[in-house]
Chain A
Amino acid sequence: MNWANKLQSIDRRIIYTILLIGLTIPLIWPIGIPLAVNDTTRAVYKIIEDLDPATDVVLLSFDYSPASAPDVHPSAVAIVEHLTKRGIKWVGVSFWPEGPQMSEKIMRDLEARGLKYGVDFIDLGFMAGMENAIAEFAQNSRVITTDVRGTHIDNLPLMNNIKTMKDFGFVIGISAGDPGYNAFIRQAVDPMGVKFAAAIVTVSVPAAMPFYASGQLRGMLQGLRGAAEYESLTGVAGRGAAMMDAQSIGHLIIVAFIAVGNFAYFLSKKK
Chain B
Amino acid sequence: MRREIPLLITFLVGIIFLFGPITTGNIPVLEMSFRQIVSTYLSPWTTIITAFAIGLASINLLRLHGSYVARKRSGWINSAALVISMLFFTVARIIRELRPTDPEVVAFYGRIFDNIAAPLSGAMFAILAFYIASASYRAFRARSLEASVLLVAAIIVMLGAAPVGALIWDYFPSLQRWLLAVPNTAGQRAIIIGAAIGGFATSLRILFGLERGYLGGD
Do A and B share a direct contact in the complex (Cβ within 8 angstroms)? yes
A residues with CB within 8 A of B? 8, 10, 12, 15-16, 19, 33-36, 38, 65-70, 97, 101, 104-105, 108, 127-130, 132-133, 135-136, 139-140, 143, 148-150, 191, 202, 205-207, 209-210, 213, 222, 225, 244-245, 247-255, 257-258, 260-262, 265-266
Report which of B114, B129, B140, B161 forms a contact with A258, defined as CB distance below 8 A: B140
- Verify B122–A257 contact, CB threshold 8 A: no
Of A132, A225, A262, the most chain B CB neighbours within 10 A belong to A132
- Verify A66–B119 contact, CB threshold 8 A: yes
Interface residues on B, range: 35 or more
Chain A proximity mask over B108-124: 1 for CB below 8 Å, otherwise 0 = 00100110011101101
Kindly state the separation between the CA atoms of A135 and B39 in the bound complex, as whole angstroms: 10
Helix, strand, loop or mixed for chain A's interface? helix
B residues with CB within 8 A of A? 21, 35, 39, 43-44, 46-48, 50-51, 54, 100-101, 106, 110, 113-114, 117-119, 121-122, 124-126, 129-130, 132-134, 136-138, 140-142, 151, 155, 158-159, 161-167, 173, 177, 180-181, 184-185, 188-189, 192
- Verify B164–A33 contact, CB threshold 8 A: yes
Say yes or no: A255-B158 contact (C-beta < 8 A), given A209-B184, A260-B137. yes
Residues of A within 8 A of B47 (CB): 127-129, 132-133, 136
Residues of B within 8 A of A265 (CB): 141-142
- Verify B50–A129 contact, CB threshold 8 A: yes
Say yes or no: A34-B163 contact (C-beta < 8 A), given A105-B114, A257-B133, A262-B141. yes
- Verify B166–A36 contact, CB threshold 8 A: yes
Residues of A within 8 A of B137 (CB): 10, 15, 254, 257-258, 260-261
Residues of B within 8 A of A247 (CB): 162-163
- Verify A209–B141 contact, CB threshold 8 A: no
Helix, strand, loop or mixed for chain B's interface? helix
Kindly state the separation between the CA atoms of A130 and B47 in the bound complex, as whole angstroms: 8
Residues of B within 8 A of A150 (CB): 100-101
Kindly state the separation between the CA atoms of A205 and B180 in the bound complex, as whole angstroms: 9
Residues of B within 8 A of A251 (CB): 158-159, 161-162, 164-165
- Verify B124–A207 contact, CB threshold 8 A: no
Say yes or no: A255-B133 contact (C-beta < 8 A), given A101-B110, A132-B46, A207-B188. no
Residues of A within 8 A of B110 (CB): 101, 104, 108
Closest Cβ of chain A to B137, distance in Å, is: 4
Say yes or no: A149-B126 contact (C-beta < 8 A), given A15-B134, A254-B158. no
- Verify A253–B133 contact, CB threshold 8 A: yes
Report which of A35, A69, A130, A148 forms a contact with B122, defined as CB distance below 8 A: A69
- Verify A210–B166 contact, CB threshold 8 A: no
Kindly state the separation between the CA atoms of A258 and B54 in the bound complex, as whole angstroms: 41
Which residue of B has the minimal Cβ distance to A18?
B133
Closest Cβ of chain A to B195, distance in Å, is: 10
> Beyond the given A101-B113, A127-B47, A136-B46, could you list 17 further A-B residue pairs with CB under 8 A, ordered by the A residue number?
A12-B134, A19-B133, A33-B167, A36-B173, A67-B121, A97-B54, A108-B110, A132-B47, A136-B44, A205-B180, A206-B184, A209-B185, A210-B185, A250-B162, A254-B158, A257-B133, A261-B138
